[in-house]
Amino acid sequence: MALDRRGYLQIPQGTEGFYLDEAYRHRMLTTEVEQLLFRWGYLPAQTPVFDYYDAYAALLSEEEARKIYRLIDRDGDLLMLRWDITLFLAKQMGMILREDDLPVRVCYADTILRHQNREDISKNEFFQTGAELIGTNTLDADLEVILLLRRALQQIGVPLYYIHIGSRALFNASFGRMPKTAQQRLRRAIVLRDMQTLSTVSSERGVPAARISALRQVFSFIGDSQELERLAGALQSALLESELQQIQRLQQLHATLGRADETAPYRIDLSEIGSQSYHTGVVFQAYVDGLDTSIAAGGRYDGLYGTFGLDVPAVGFSIMLRKLQDDTDVDARFVPPVAEQAAGDDFVQRFRDAENRRRDGGSVVL
């Protein structure tokens, strides 16, 4: 019988391995980000590689469920591999947190395993480094997490990027009463900036033409807080009070970020409505030129922890470090050291010479 050679020549889609120089750069990048997170008061958490599928099934969309690797354990229980660290972390922390512990700042750096089509493998979404602020739903908490993401990207030397900030709460205020199927179509349309589909779906649900026009302008908006204020003023009569409140919150967030960080690469982008089904409030993604997907994503998820235990708000982000590795190849901090040869006529002499030079920070082989 002919052997299937795929097991020898390929690895499963949604996984990867990297070695030597590449692995060294990855480890140094991860360490650089982790040290920054520690200085901001975030302590590490480690999630399991797999968990019971049923614990998360209700939180997954059909599209998300298709990306998950599942397996059966020896007792017949259905398990899922770690597809999204935020979900696994919410369960682990939700089971142990108490009110007295809050707020809690945690960080992580670990692999994720998800199925990707062959054409999507280049997206390098295999390793997440991130942070979560658990137990507070204030504007200050949102500001802290976005600024921490900004500092992390600066720390590893990403040269040019933009952080786009939007709101799932705004989307919910506009479309939350529509059927789920309509909401799914609208979410996809807004993310793709397909305003014609937004108009079609809204019209099918009986939304007046004047309001549809206002919604098109809102969810296609990209700009700063002053421009958003002018747009909201012009559309005030067509917008709901709940929508205006969310817009005002984004204005305040963006304006404060600008005062705290004068070189702020922040844009209000109302087509950003959250990459995960559990998002509830502010959402954001970071982009660099040359990539068609974000290098980092985050947001607020105030209902997630309550699914697993203590019902507390949370906000956080994840950076896809593997996407950034090529951009840091020339950074001396991440270049592997060139090992020198130890001197000496025999092994003992070479060992002693190597030890002396290693104490001075050198990389020496025997």
Domains of the chain, with CATH numbers?
A: 11-158+302-335 (3.30.930.10), 162-287 (3.30.930.10), 340-366 (no CATH)
In the prediction, which pLDDT does 120 show?
A: 45
Place of tokens 């001075």: 360
Give the pLDDT confidence of 151-173 residue by residue, as tens digits. 999 999 888 899 999 999 999 99
Averaged pLDDT score across all residues of the chain: 90
Give the number of other CB atoms < 10 A from CB of residue 15: 16
Identity at 87, one-letter amino acid code: L
In the prediction, which pLDDT does 22 show?
A: 81
- Whether 299 and 164 have beta carbons less than 8 Å apart is answered as no
In the prediction, which pLDDT does 263 show?
A: 78
Residue 136: pLDDT above 60?
A: yes
Give the pLDDT confidence of 104-134 residue by residue, as tens digits. 999 999 988 877 655 444 444 578 899 999 9
Give the pLDDT confidence of 221-267 residue by residue, as tens digits. 999 999 999 999 999 999 999 999 999 999 999 999 999 987 779 99
Smallest CA-to-CA distance from 363 within 338, 326, 332 is with 338
Torsion, Cα 272 276 278 283, to 10 degrees, reads -30
Q: Which of 7-21, 34-48, 60-74, 79-93 has the highest mean pLDDT?
A: 34-48
| Choice among 7-11, 41-45, 215-219, 348-352 with the minimum mean pLDDT | 7-11
Residues 6 or more apart whose Cβ sits within 8 Å of residue 117: 13
Smallest CA-to-CA distance from 278 within 294, 295, 312, 302 is with 302
Give the pLDDT confidence of 190-201 residue by residue, as tens digits. 999 999 999 999
pTM over 0.75: yes
∠ CA 169-170-175, rounded to 5°: 100
Q: What is the mean pLDDT of residues 34-38?
A: 97
DSSP secondary structure letter of residue 114: B
11 or 251: which leads in pLDDT: 251
286 or 123: which leads in pLDDT: 286
Q: Which of 125-129, 266-270, 293-297, 331-335 has the highest mean pLDDT?
A: 266-270
**Cis bond before residue 103 (omega within 30° of 0):** yes
| Choice among 26-30, 100-104, 350-354 with the minimum mean pLDDT | 26-30
Give me the sheet containing 70-72, strands edge to edge.
Answer: 50-52, 78-81, 70-72
- Whether 102 and 47 have beta carbons less than 8 Å apart is answered as no
Give the number of other CB atoms < 10 A from CB of residue 290: 8
